[in-house]
Amino acid sequence: MKAQWFIHREGAVLGPFTPADVEKQISSGHFNSECLVWARGSNEWLPMSQWKSLVGRMADPAKTVAERVWYCDSGAGQPAGPLTQNELIDHLKGLNRWDIVTLWGTGLLKWLPLFEVPEVMDLVGISRREHPRAPLLGQVALTPSGTSTPAQILPSLTISVGGMGLKNAGFLQRGDRVQIAIRSRDIPTVIHVTGEILYVSRIGDAGVKFIDLSPEARALLTDHIQKFHDQVAAA
């Protein structure tokens, strides 16, 4: 049983743990419903209440990818599918852009950006991201650039020095410029940055590219991401 699970409890990231470790800590009451859980292949911290279903889906990701029936939305207005694993890979290799692609397969809870399905990206043979990412538990105050629109408060998903993922961003459109303020207990200060929307998925998840990240903010994010990946590497 590989030690690949991490727990977010009271502002601290604990782990890595094996599934047996997590079960033991749940039974003892050390991990409760207020904790969050993450493993490689997840695109966000999830409530501990989803532990059972999550560990089941992660048990054999390669087999799961092969057995799913897939649909692929590349922004053309009509998703391609149903597709087998091999048909999906051939379809992806024929696309000109991957940053706007979202996928859904049987057994998945929602549509996901291609960059959040590492098992598929491994099969396609493309680098997962230009910049390393880490999950980020926090909130983003987002305002469209050049407007007086009140800021929208959105939950964060993942972050890198090149950009981040957001939830509940269905009101945005690809190409929008936005001003964002990032606040998280995992980062010692609020980060202000301009961004450009790269994609918005069918369920409202969005990818943002940073445009003018300051050296100070870059250093803070690099430290957060490095610490997290050091823990993952230890697994």
Share above pLDDT 70 across residues of the chain, in percent, rounded to a whole number: 88
Count Cβ atoms within 10 A of the Cβ of residue 17 and give its class: 0-12 exposed, 13-18 middle, 19 or more buried: buried
User: Considering the domain 5-59 in this protein, what is its CATH number?
Assistant: 3.30.1490
Quote the mean pLDDT of the chain: 84
pLDDT > 60? residue 1: no
What's the whole-number mean pLDDT along residues 133-148?
A: 89
What integer pLDDT is reported at residue 164 of this predicted model? 93
Position 105 pLDDT exceeds 90: no
Confidence band, pLDDT 50/70/90 cuts, at residue 84: very high
Q: How confident is residue 45, by pLDDT bands cut at 50, 70 and 90?
A: confident
* Domains of the chain by residue range: 5-59, 62-124, 134-234
pLDDT digits 0-9 by tens, 170-179 = 899 889 999 9
Provide the 10 A C-beta neighbour count for residue 50. 14
| CATH of the domain spanning 62-124, picked from 3.40.718.10, 1.20.120.850, 3.30.1490.40, 3.30.110.40 | 3.30.1490.40
- Can 5-59 and 62-124 be said to share one CATH topology? yes
CB within 8 Å of 78: residues ≥ 6 apart: none
Could you write out the three-class secondary structure of 177-221? EEEEEEEECCCCCCEEEEEEEEEECCCCCEEEEECCCCHHHHHHH
Angstrom distance (rounded) from CA 152 to CA 210: 18
Q: How far does the chain reach from its first CA to its final CA, in angstroms? A: 11
pLDDT tens per residue, range 155-195? 998 899 999 999 899 899 889 999 999 999 889 999 999 99
* Strand 5-9 versus strand 12-17 pairing type: antiparallel
Find out if CATH 3.30.70.20 is the number for domain 134-234: no
Of residues 213 and 118, more confidence is placed in: 213
pTM exceeding 0.75:
no
As a residue count, the chain comes to 235
Inform me whether the pLDDT recorded for 61 exceeds 60: no
Say what the pLDDT of residue 54 is: 76
Of residues 133 and 42, which shows the higher confidence score?
133
Sign of CA dihedral 172, 178, 181, 184: positive
